Amino acid sequence: MNLQNVISYIKDKLEKIFWPLIVCYALYLVFEIYSYYDEKESFMDKVYFENMYQAKFLTLALILAAALIFKVTGKVRIASLILVIPAIITVGTFLIVMLVIAGLAILFILFGN
């Protein structure tokens, strides 16, 4: 495979992945709203709690708004990239953390008392 085929493959996938990513972000938003109301009563520092969730909601709103604005203006690839890059960072971080946890678990099993 040469570089041109890879680039055309990625461009083709970016045009098809926009709405599934919007659905994933919407489900994440519903989960965060549920978490907000579920944890609200048990959190001690209300100011920190409000600021934490305000930052989460603002970031999510900015990502969704930018993607939808680019989608409406006809720039579907850029809109998909706006959604894909945070998703890749999140999934990549999750996978790295899981690998580190699995590695530490193996080390504790092998060398622990």
State residue 113's pLDDT score: 67
pLDDT for 66 equals 93
- Alpha carbons 63 and 59: distance in angstroms, whole number: 6
User: What is the pLDDT, as a whole number, of residue 18?
Assistant: 86
| Residue 97: predicted pLDDT | 97
DSSP calls for the chain? --HHHHHHHHHHHHHHSHHHHHHHHHHHHHHHHHHHHHHTTT-S-HHHHHHHHHHHHHHHHHHHHHHHHHHHTT-HHHHHHHHHHHHHHHHHHHHHHHHHHHHHHHHHHHH--
- For the chain (113 residues), the mean pLDDT of every run of 10, in chain order, is 76 82 90 89 83 90 92 89 89 96 94 79
The pTM is what? 0.75
